[in-house]
Structures are given as C-alpha cells and as structure tokens.
Amino acid sequence: MTQQRLPADAPPLATIAGIGDFEGQQVTLRGWLFNLRSSGKLAFPQLRDGTGIIQGVAMRKDLGDELFEALTHLGQESSLVLTGLVSADARAPGGYELKISSVQILQCAEGYPIGPKEHGTDFLHNHRHLWLRSRRQQAIMRIRHLSVQAIRNYFDSRGYMLMDSPIFTPNACEGTSTLFETEYFGKPAYLTQSGQLYQEAGALAFGKTYCFGPTFRAEKSGTRRHLTEFWMVEPEIAFADLEDIMDTAEDFMVECVQYVLEHGRQHLVELERDISKLEAVQKPFPRISYDEACRMLAELGEPVEPDDDFGSPHETVLTQQFDRPIMVYGYPTAVKAFYMKENPENPARVLGVDVLAPEGYGEVIGGGQREDSLDVLLHKIQEHKLPQEYFEWFLDLRRYGTVPHGGFGMGLERFVTWVCGIHHIRETIPFPRTISRLTP
Ligand code: 4AD
Ligand code: MG
C-alpha cells in the first residue's frame, strides 16, 4: 500500500518515531500489531512500524461491533492501517497515544512463533527473519546502521576514496587455513579474507583509499567472536608508518563511538548498555608493546607461550585492566601475516598493531605498516609457501614507486558487539553465517 492509494481525504501518513510533530492532529499509521489488551468496550492495540511502538486506544462505539471484534481477535504481527488522533500522554510508552477512529486490516496473522516467553538461541536463529522484528534486535540493527554511517563519514570527510576490493581472488591474504575455496571456470579461487592487498594498490594510486565490504573466513570453531562472513572496513594510507596508523586507528575509533553515542543513545538504552563505558572511549589509548603485554599477562596469571599469538583469554584479561581500548603493537613476526613489515631494530617483531576493546571484548582492529621492500617481500612469500605467480601484481607495487605505507581493518560486527555490550557476535549481523549456520 502506498501513500497514493490512501483515500484522498485520509489523514497524513506519519511514522511512530516522528509522531510528535502531529500532536493534536489526525494521522494514518501503517504497521504490525505488537500487542493487544481489550475489554468488552475498549481495546489497547500496540502498533509497531519499524521506527517505534505506539499504544492505540479503540472504542467499540467508535469502530462498530464488527470491526471492534475483528481488531480484538487479531494475532501478533497482523498488518494494519490505523487512523486516529495523536495525543500526548506522559504515561504512554513513547509519550504519545493514538485515539483510533478507523482500522483497516491488511492481514490477520495467526500463531506468530515468537512470543514474550523465553526462546532458545537455536529457535530464535532459525526464525531470524522474524526475530529481526523484536525490540532488542531492532536496537542492535540500528546501532549497526549508525556504525556504518560513522565509518563512512570518517573516511569520506578526510579525503579517503572508496575503492572496492574484489570478492573472488586467487590470493590468500590472511593465511591459508581459513580460505573458502570455490571453482572459478575450472580453476580454484577463494572468497576474499581481506581487501587489503588491493587497497595497497589503491593507496599507491590515490594516496588514501578504503574498502568496506564482506569478507570470508572458514573459521572452523564456533566462538562468540567469529563469523564466517563478516564486514570489514579497511583504510590504506601511502607515506605512513606504524605511528601514523596507530594515530589514525585511535582517532577513527573515538569518532565512531562518539557518533553512535550521539545518534543512537535510545537504542543503547534499549539494550541496557552502560553508556559511561562508551563515554570513556577518549584519546589517548594506551600503547603497549607485545613484550610488555606478555609481562603483564604473566603477572595476571594468564601467561603467553614464548612468541605465541594472544588467544581470547589473554585479550580478555588484558583489556579488563583498562577503561578504554588499548593498542598492542610489535607482535612476533612468526605469528603474523607475510605482508607485515619487520621492525628494523628487531626482526623478530613486526610493525603491526591490534586495537583491543575494553570490558573483555578484545581485538576489533588489526593492521600496521606493510613490508615495502621487494626483496624482503619475495623472501616472505616463499617462506609462507604462497604461490608467487599470483602475487606478481602485488610485487609490482614494490617495483614501481614503493613507499612506506600501512593501514588497518576493523571488523564491523566486532565493533557493534562491543558498542552494544552484547555477548555474541552473531546478533550483530542480519543473517549470521557460522560453522553451524547457513540458514535462513
Ligand atoms: O586482524 P585481521 O585478520 O587483519 C586483516 O585482515 C588485515 N588484512 C586488515 C588490514 O590491515 N587491512 O582482521 C581484521 C579485523 C579483526 O581485527 C576483527 O575485527 C575482524 O577483522 N575479524 C573478524 N570478525 C568476525 N569474524 C571473524 N572470523 C573475523 N576475523 C577477523
Ligand atoms: Mg588480527
């Protein structure tokens, strides 16, 4: 039903979020029945329209027996058009009430599977297409949307050019153990793990670029931090060293969190997020070397094997010590990707950085300075047993005008999980993909 098809004399269309502009006026609202209480003469249907929920008041004497009966027998999520008078009411959720003068029933839904009672996680995920209508899921999706806006605004307003990286690729960027292989006209191809290598071409062509798209990793374990399909934003900057990358990551993260706070406070309140924790996300973030972090972890009773990567328990314990994100840099060369630049003063450490979110959330950003020497990179490709012929184009970037450069990748869903303060990453993407889930 479109606006044009409302009767010519119908009151103007409104949304529940914008209802305050219509106080004292007749409006038309379109949506779905969220809840309904009724007595013989009076009914209180709650309508949701995707922007909010409003309570309506309908009287038998205004609607007539037949329509009143039909309304009071509607099931949850029936679709309907209501017209009525908007009146301010401090007791009503949202502050307004609709005194209903007419009802048009579009569909009478019966047996909606998601009720107010507790449902199991699997049940809810099997009904994800409907679960998205619930208040909590709507709040999370709104925060996701605002996060995307914040991310784009950040880079667009600072001269970065959006340059999309391909999804099909012959290159492994983040190691060969999490590649999704597919057949590409008789040859193997992979779904991209990261758009970074192509952004390096972008940075050397345009100075500063970013990509923001889906990336794929065949994560074989189901953790609360891993999806097999997730969205990553990846800026890449020419003439930048590790210090520049840390400055950018820090500035970016502060601005994104503050943007969500400014524009999405009501959604965070819906999620019962402790907002003071997000308000604390201010510069400077502590910058801690890997070796220093290892010493701290040993003292905290969560020691790291020599030259090993951090696992979730390490990140959890470490981040619980701080009220804001921290930046851990200088990880062991042996555990990091082939493209990371070795520290010239200590080749066993790379000029890479991870930004770890507080409250135990852990890694949200990974990045750093890239290896810009052709010879070292060639050696690294061999060491990592990567097929050199598929990296020839990447090596060209070192043959023709190589410069110090770097960038980072932030996983959108990791960011949203932390900002929302929720337990599991799978609620932050509309239709999650994990080792055990491909539907709906
Ligand atoms: O640390 P990662 O593997 O770094 C890269 O991919 C670089 N090439 C990025 C770059 O420098 N342009 O991944 C970056 C971020 C992680 O910090 C995390 O937020 C997210 O991507 N991430 C995942 N998010 C959800 N599920 C997964 N399986 C993820 N793996 C990584
Ligand atoms: Mg990482």
pLDDT in tens, 154-197: 999 999 999 999 999 998 889 889 999 999 999 999 999 999 99
**Parts of the chain with a pLDDT under 70:** 1-5
**What is the pLDDT, as a whole number, of residue 2?**
45
pLDDT for 158 equals 98
The DSSP secondary-structure symbol of 434 reads B
Per the CB < 8 A criterion, the answer to whether 122 and 80 are in contact is no
Q: What is the pLDDT of residue 427?
A: 98
159 Ramachandran zone, left/alpha/beta (phi>0; psi -120 to 50) = left
Q: Give distance in angstroms: CA of 140 to centre of ligand 2.
A: 24
**In which region does residue 368 sit, left (phi positive, over 0), alpha (psi from -120 to 50) or beta (all else)?**
left
Residue to probe by mutation, ligand 1, list 191, 215, 230, 416, most atoms within 8 Å of CB: 230
d(CA 126, CA 359): 30
As a dihedral over the C-alpha atoms of residue 320, residue 321, residue 326, residue 331, rounded to 10 degrees, the angle is -90
Looking from the CA of residue 406, the nearest atom of ligand 1 is 11
Residue nearest to atom 29 of ligand 1 (CA): 226
* Residue type for position 378: L
Ligand 1: residue of 169, 210, 232, 236 to mutate (most ligand atoms within 8 A of CB) is: 232
Residue 321 β-bridge partners = none
pLDDT in tens, 405-414: 999 999 999 9
Q: Give the residue among 250, 247, 243 at the shortest CA–CA distance from 351.
A: 243
* Residue type, position 25, single letter: Q
How far is the centre of ligand 2, averaged over its atoms, from the C-alpha of 353 (Å)? 9
Q: Which residues line ligand 1 (CB under 6 A)?
A: 173-174, 194, 196, 217, 219, 226-227, 230, 232, 234, 363-367, 407-411, 413-414
- C-alpha to C-alpha distance for 234 and 199, rounded to whole angstroms: 8
Q: What is the pLDDT of residue 101?
A: 96
pLDDT reported for residue 392:
97
